[in-house]
Chains A and B, each alone.
Chain A
Amino acid sequence: MSLAARTPRAPVVLPLAALAVGVAVWWLLSIALALPAYVLPPPTAVADRLVANPDLYVASALTTLRRIVLGGAVGVLVGAALAVAVVEVRWLRRALVPYLVAARVLPKIAVAPVLLIYVGTGEGTGIAFVALVAFFPMVVSTVAGLEGVPEAHMDLLRSLDAGRLATLVHLRVPHAVPDAFAGLKQSTALAVVGSVIAEWLVSTEGLGALILFALEDVQVDVMLAALAVLFAEGLALYGLVVAAERRVGWSQTGGAPGPGQDRSDAAAADRRSSQTGAR
């Protein structure tokens, strides 16, 4: 029997234990090596920073969050809408999809300075950049989902002479939900990255900007405190997306994505069916 199987609530307990061990090792190292605070401050120093000036971190977190949510929403919505458009309009698909796929090799960060020229140095540039990085995974994944409908399902709707709209609404969109969520998860992670990069380039507010300011003063404890808040923020956003997926999503292997749904369900169902007496 594995450690994970013997530990109750292992999915929660084990990661928390690993975190505790990591922080303990960090703390011991900072004491044992007696490193100066500008190289490796102890975790207590980082915690002190957070406790001493919570307003700074909350305000910075909210600024970053606002940019992530606004830019991310624009990128994801435009991405989803464009996905529907290219799937429904054949010439649009032929013209655009090669570029949407090829855009993967373009480092989006290289586009940011160009945005400075065209959008300016205001908040709009930050939001535009986050939208840009969030857009690509969403559109590519959603196109794959909308187009991946099995022929047998298409035949089913053809057998009723169902139109394009009905096919889109009843077949393509629901079929694309798992792929769209896969794209949304990537977009969410990238939106956090995009927001930090935007702050480095155009903003004086937010967690990314805070890290940069702390660097100038070699305040490693402030940098680590901001990093911890940023990590928690990214994790929370990602968690929200996963929670939404569990609510509305479906998967090929189970009723809803998540643990505990596997092939053995079918075998169990078969046994129950034969016991209840299939006539």
Chain B
Amino acid sequence: MIAVEDLTVAYEDVVAVEGIDLSVDAGRFVTVIGPSGCGKTTLLRAVGGLETPTRGRVRVDGDPPERAQQRANVGFVFQRHTLLPWKTALENVTFLRRLAGKPPDPDGARDLLERAGLAGFADARPAALSGGMRQRVAIARALHLGADVLLMDEPFGELDELTRETMGLEVRRVWRGERKTVLFVTHSVPEAVLLGDRCVVVRGSPGRIVDSIDVDLPRPRDRDVLESDPFQERVAAVRAALSGGAT
């Protein structure tokens, strides 16, 4: 689980986020939405130990972030440019797990690639893969690390809308199977509602959590959900929170 208490992260001349309280129970999928520059990425990075809190406290499964890093208990998926170009897809998937000193599991890595529709591309270098395929490899790498907590920073931000929906649903399907704790940052309202059990709205400068909206939609979710009234109601609620209206 993820526990954030009164988190403030300030850089030299700007306060990115202030007074954030956030709790994500183990096995839950929570999305964080907000406009560009609201500090949502900073929040995610602080949870994963890539930013040092100026004030407040972060715990990942009870550990401070550095300890969670050492235990290889946080898996990141960044927006872009994170596959190592000199390694093949398979080597990229196994790389972090190897580095973390966990027992090797080549079959598991191949299985992940296969489930991501990349069975024939294990030996391909990233330059020979499309943007969507590269992100699937990056997700497979985070899953293969075997961390309980997945931190995803706009992982589909550079993809077209259709690919984005397909991959989002794919991540949710995998999440249901593996029961990871997921914190997923996005600036797309439909994506935030489609994927999250709960949608946390961050706004302002410095960024604060202004609302937290439960998304009790049926699961497993598919494209049909996008047309349903409950989905549209949640989208409207998130939009209202983002624009500062009543919730």
Residues of A within 8 A of B (CB): 150, 152-153, 155-162, 166, 170-171, 174-175, 177, 250-255, 261, 265-267, 269-270, 272-273, 276-279
A267 contacts B130, C-beta separation under 8 Å: yes
Across the interface, A156 reaches (CB within 8 A) one of B96, B117, B130, B133, namely B96
B50 contacts A159, C-beta separation under 8 Å: yes
Query: Chain B, 184-228, contact with A by CB distance < 8 Å: what is the 0/1 string?
Result: 000000000000000000000000000000000000000000000
Q: Does B240 contact A (CB under 8 A)?
A: no
Bound complex: CA of A270 vs CA of B75, how far in Å? 26
What are 17 A-B residue pairs whose CB atoms fall within 8 Å in the complex?
A152-B82, A155-B50, A158-B69, A159-B75, A161-B69, A166-B99, A171-B84, A250-B86, A251-B127, A265-B128, A266-B128, A269-B130, A269-B133, A270-B133, A272-B120, A273-B117, A277-B117
Across the interface, B96 reaches (CB within 8 A) one of A160, A252, A254, A278, namely A160
Query: Chain B, 155-184, contact with A by CB distance < 8 Å: what is the 0/1 string?
Result: 000000000001000100000000000000
Bound complex: CA of A184 vs CA of B219, how far in Å? 57
In the complex, which residues of chain B have a beta carbon less than 8 angstroms from the beta carbon of A152? Answer: 78, 80-82
A161 contacts B70, C-beta separation under 8 Å: yes
In the complex, which residues of chain A have a beta carbon less than 8 angstroms from the beta carbon of B86? Answer: 174-175, 177, 250
**Nearest neighbor of A155 in chain B, beta-carbon distance:** B50
Q: Given known contacts A153-B84, A159-B69, A166-B99, is B119 in contact with A254 (CB within 8 Å)?
A: no
Of A158, A255, A272, most B-chain CB atoms within 10 Å: A255
B125 contacts A250, C-beta separation under 8 Å: yes
B76 contacts A159, C-beta separation under 8 Å: yes
10 tightest Cβ-Cβ pairs between the two chains A and B? A278-B117, A161-B69, A250-B86, A270-B130, A255-B125, A265-B128, A152-B81, A159-B76, A152-B82, A266-B130
Bound complex: CA of A159 vs CA of B96, how far in Å? 10
In the complex, which residues of chain A have a beta carbon less than 8 angstroms from the beta carbon of B75? Answer: 159
Q: Does B104 contact A (CB under 8 A)?
A: no
Query: Chain B, 64-82, contact with A by CB distance < 8 Å: what is the 0/1 string?
Result: 0010011010111010111
Distance in Å from the Cβ of A70 to the closest Cβ of chain B? 30
**Nearest neighbor of B86 in chain A, beta-carbon distance:** A250
Q: Does B39 contact A (CB under 8 A)?
A: no
Bound complex: CA of A187 vs CA of B132, how far in Å? 40
Q: Does B124 contact A (CB under 8 A)?
A: yes
Bound complex: CA of A150 vs CA of B166, how far in Å? 28
Q: Does B49 contact A (CB under 8 A)?
A: yes
A269 contacts B129, C-beta separation under 8 Å: yes
Q: Does B115 contact A (CB under 8 A)?
A: yes
Q: Does B48 contact A (CB under 8 A)?
A: yes
